[in-house]
Amino acid sequence: MERIVIINFGAQYNQLIARRIREAGVYSELLPPDAPIERVKGEGLSGIILSGGPDSCYLPGSRTCSDELFSLGVPVLGICYGMQLMCQKFGAKVGPAPVREYGKTFVRFKPNVLFKDMPDSICWMSHNDAVSEVPAGFELIAETDDCPVGAVCCGEKGLYAVQFHPEVRHTEYCAQFFHNFVYEICRCKGGWSIENLAGELIEEIRKKVGSSKVVAGLSGGVDSSVAATLVHRAIGDQLTCIFVDHGLLRLGEAEEVMDYYRNEIGLNVIEVDAKERFLSKLAGVVEPERKRKIIGEEFIRVFEDEAKKVGADYLLQGTIYPDVIESGTGGAQVIKSHHNVGGLPEDIAFKGLIEPLRILFKDEVRLLGESLGMPAPLVWRQPFPGPGLAIRVMGDITEEKLDILRKSDFILRDEIKKAGLERAIWQYFTVFTGVRSVGVMGDCRTYDTAIAVRAVTSTDAMTVEFAEIPYDILRRISNRIIAETPGVNRVVFDITDKPPGTIEWE
C-alpha cells in the first residue's frame, strides 16, 4: 500500500495534512520526529512531509529529525516549520521574520510542478520565523510581499518546501497542491478509501485480539458506535459492549441509544446505572480539566469492574484524532484532556486498548459507518462528548443545573429538527453558563440563569465556524427555553469560531 509519512513537529493542524493526503486517495500517517528510521521506511513509502510546529529551529532544544530522511529515495516536502528546518539543514539561515504573517496572504508562484494548475492566489500563513536565503542547490519558487523566500525546491533531490499552510482550507488551491505532490512528484497511483480501510481495520483487530474478549465503552455517540460495529464485524460474540449511564446524558438519551444498539445493530450491550457513582465524585468540582480526569478514570473503573465479569483482556474506545491532538499528544499543546486520552489513569487493568478510529476525523468516521451499513440516524447523530453534560455546566455540577440544561437542550434540538437543519449544522447544544441576570416575567422581577446556545459548522472538528441560524428560528428557541424551562430568564447565542474558541465551553 502506498504510504505518505508526516513527521509531526507538534502543530495543531498537522492531522489536516494527513487528511488532505487521504482525500487525494493515498494512505498517510503521522509519526514523531524521533521515530526509528525503519518505522518511517516501512512498506510502500512514497513520500515524506515535515509538518509545521511551534518551535524555532535555530534555538537549542527545538525539535529536529534525522538527516537520513532526505536520502531515502522518496520526495520530501517541508511545511512552515518543516521548511525552516529543511533549509537550515541544507545551510540556509533561519531567524525571526522581519514581518510576521498571519492569516490569508497573497502568494506569487513561479512555474514548478508543485504548483501545477495553481495561479497566484491566497494562501494561509502563520509564522514568526522565516528563511532569509535560498539554500545552495535550491531555487526560489514562491514569494509574498513580506516573505521573499516563500517556497524553495531542489528537484534533483526531490526536496520541496513552502512557508504557507496548504493543508488549511483557506489556502485556495489546497486540494490541487496535495494532488500535485502526491501524483506529480511522489508518482502515487492512488486508490485508498474509507471503504478499503474498513477491511484492513477488521483484519488488524482480528490479529491483535486473537481469541481474547473485548469490552467496549459505548457513549451513545457516533465514534463509539462505529468502533463497536467495526469490532463486532471482526470478532463477533467476543465483544461485550457497556453503556454507562453516568447521570450526565441528555433527555431520553439512554433509552434511545439502547434501542439502536440492541434492535438495529444487534450488539450485546450491558447497561450500567452509575449515576450516583459519577455525580458523587464530581460534587463540588469546578475546574474543567479536573472534571475530565475524574470522568475518564471513573469510566475506566466501571469498565474494569464489568470486564472482570466477562473475562475481557482488551478495552475498545471510540477515540478519534481530534481527541488525540487536543489532549496534547505527540508534543502538541494541551487544549483540553479528552476523557479517553489525557483523562486516562496510568494503572489500567487491561492487556491493552483497541482504538481503530484513532487516525480518523469525525466525517471520516461517519463515512466508515455508512460503509458498514449502520443505520443513518445513528451515523448522523449529534456528536456528544464522553464527559457529557459535565462540560456543559459551568462551575460545580448539581441535579438542578443538569435538569435545566437537559430541558433547554431538548428544546434546541427539537426546534433544529423542525426547521430541517439537522444535517446542515455540525453540532448544536445549550450551555448552563452559571451567569445570573435580572429579568422581568409576568410583571415581576427575576434573577435567574442565562443559557447559551452553541451551534457550529465544520467538516473535521479541528476548525469550526458558528452556524448562522435564521433569526426567526433563534427567536422560537429563545422563547421556548425561557417559557418551558423554570429558572431561565435569558438566552444568548455563542458566535465564536474555532480557533480562537473550542466547540465545547469546557
Whether 505 and 431 have beta carbons less than 8 Å apart is answered as yes
**Residues 130, 13, 32, CA angle at the centre, nearest 5°?**
85
Length of the chain: 506
Is there a catalytic annotation at residue 167? Answer: yes
Whether 453 and 421 have beta carbons less than 8 Å apart is answered as no
> Which DSSP category does 44 fall into?
T
Q: From CA 305, how far away is CA 403, in angstroms rounded?
A: 29
Instruction: From the candidates 65, 80, 153, 186, give the one annotated as an active-site residue.
Output: 80
**Dihedral sign computed on CA atoms, order 405, 407, 413, 419:** negative
Grid cell listed for 393: 455546566
Q: From CA 449, how far away is CA 441, in angstroms rounded?
A: 13
Q: What is the DSSP string of 53-117?
A: -SS-TTSTT-----GGGGGSSS-EEEETHHHHHHHHHTT--EEEEEEEEEEEEEEEEPS-GGGTT
Instruction: From the candidates 127, 165, 232, 339, give the one annotated as an active-site residue.
Output: 165
Is there a catalytic annotation at residue 154? Answer: no
Grid cell listed for 229: 460495529
Task: Please compute, for residue 149, the number of CA atoms within 13 A of its CA located in the half-sphere on the CB side.
Answer: 25
β-sheet bridge partners, residue 444 = 441
Sheet with 239-245, side-by-side order of all strands:
269-273, 239-245, 214-218, 314-316, 352-354
Helix 362-371 to helix 194-209 angle (10° resolution) is 80
Q: What is the DSSP string of 215-237?
A: EEEE-SSHHHHHHHHHHHHHHGG
Instruction: From the candidates 87, 127, 153, 167, give the one annotated as an active-site residue.
Output: 167
Q: What are the catalytic residues?
A: 80, 165, 167
